[in-house]
A and B are shown apart, each in its own frame.
Chain A
Amino acid sequence: MQFRDEYRDGPQARRFADAIARITTRPWTLMEVCGGQTHAIVRFGIDALLPPQIDLVHGPGCPVCVTPVEYIDKAIEIAERPEVILCSFGDMLRVPGTRGDLLAAKSRGADVRIVYSPLDAIQLARVEPARQIVFFAVGFETTAPANAMAAYQARREGIGNFSVLVSHVLVPPAMRSLLDEPTNRIQGFLAAGHVCTIMGYEEYEPIALLHRVPIVVTGFEPLDILEGIYLCIRQLEEGRAVVENQYSRSVRREGNRAAQAMMQEVFRVIPRRWRGIGDIADSGLALAAAYAGQDAECRFGSVHTGDDRRSACISGLVLRGECKPPDCPAFGIRCTPERPLGVTMVSSEGACAAYYRYRRLRGTAAGGAV
């Protein structure tokens, strides 16, 4: 596939890795924010190509993982109403709430359907006028405009049987909260290229300045990630801390204005609780007042939720970059993708699932296509 395969070239990846090794004189800790990047790093063995002084820690950028448990409970409770068809991205079905997951609700008879796009859910509402179609809207800024569009189209077309359960999260407040931790080890960030495709990177500039951390907007293919690391290390070695854009083939400084306008039309910024991390001010999106008619929480009332189950799972530490999956005693033994104990093993973009899939049999050795 053009604009993908050429960025997976092994020899060029090694040349980037060699260049990184030549400019690295000290130990540095970088965080890749996005779970998609974590997945690529583990899959292609990018971390193993790097000099040993560079530690890549994995960030909280897995929307499935950080969706608060009460929203899983709400989704299940709404899905169990006989008139409802609950539409969700596939990854959400196995995320545990306090009383099981959506997949279990589905096997008990709830009408839960996996959709690829929020537009599929809207289409279902058009052809099933007798049913209540609820779309479970999760994701970062990358997904927010698409999910906003579903609410917008429903309101514009007067589709009365469609609503959304919104649990959106925003990336920059989470980065600030990690940097504010007294135990913070992060010296540079690879910012998430697709989040920045929508939002641009102006909002990262004060973070780089204030916290003196280089932030490099980075793509998802091996050469993108390696170039992002090169740019970040070069800044650290030179004592600079600015925002750079590695992913310029799709990211512009101002972002995608049309997509931002749709987000502003439909959503408002609210405080949000991140699963495993805690409450973060101004880090979430909810429907704006004009879209209360499309809000599943208004339509179906507020739902009682239980307490998050205590378990041995350390996914909160994994999501904050303080631990890596093999540090968890349950990893690969009591916790596997078939029987996950925590969210970071459930989601295909979770760090535990990535390590299980690509690392379990060969320790931390390099592998993959690079």
Chain B
Amino acid sequence: MCLAVPGRILSVSGDDPITRVGRVDFGGIVKEINLAFVPDARVDDHVLVHVGFAIAVINRIEAARVFAHLREIDELTHSPPED
């Protein structure tokens, strides 16, 4: 039930902060999503969407950190396994 899916904002409409909506692209499927909880979200941002609401703007820099951390712990603890 806490499933949330990332999608990219194609366009934003509405001035009322409570009903501001974005057209959000989920890998080809486009849906209207309420943006009240991400007041800073702009076109081209990726947002995390749960039951019709964007609940976070995905931070691109932090998104790459998982992979950097993996390289780091490989170097720190061991040479990477060859596969």
Contact = CB atoms under 8 A, between A and B. Distances in A.
A143 B34 contact: no
Contacts of A246: 66
Given A3-B46, A142-B2, A230-B73, 5 more contacts: A1-B7, A1-B26, A64-B1, A145-B37, A153-B19
9 contacts: A1-B26, A11-B83, A15-B70, A15-B74, A19-B77, A194-B48, A249-B59, A249-B60, A256-B56
Contacts, number: 143
Nearest to A230: B73
A233 to B, nearest CB: 12
Contacts of B37: 145, 256, 258-259, 262
B55 A3 contact: no
B76 to A, nearest CB: 9
Given A197-B56, A249-B58, A12 B2 contact: no
A143 B3 CA distance: 10
Contact of B6 (A2, A146, A198): A2
Contacts of B55: 142, 145, 194, 197-198, 250, 256, 259
Interface residues of B, number: 42
B15 to A, nearest CB: 15
Nearest to B72: A19
Interface of A: 1-4, 6-7, 11-12, 14-16, 18-19, 22-23, 34-36, 61-64, 89, 91, 116-120, 138-140, 142-143, 145-146, 149, 152-153, 156, 192, 194-195, 197-198, 220, 223-224, 227, 230, 246, 248-251, 256, 258-259, 262, 347, 349
A34 B6 contact: no
B18 A149 contact: yes
A16 B53 contact: no
A35 to B, nearest CB: 7
Contacts of B74: 15, 19
Contact of A143 (B39, B51, B69, B81): B51
B6 A4 contact: yes
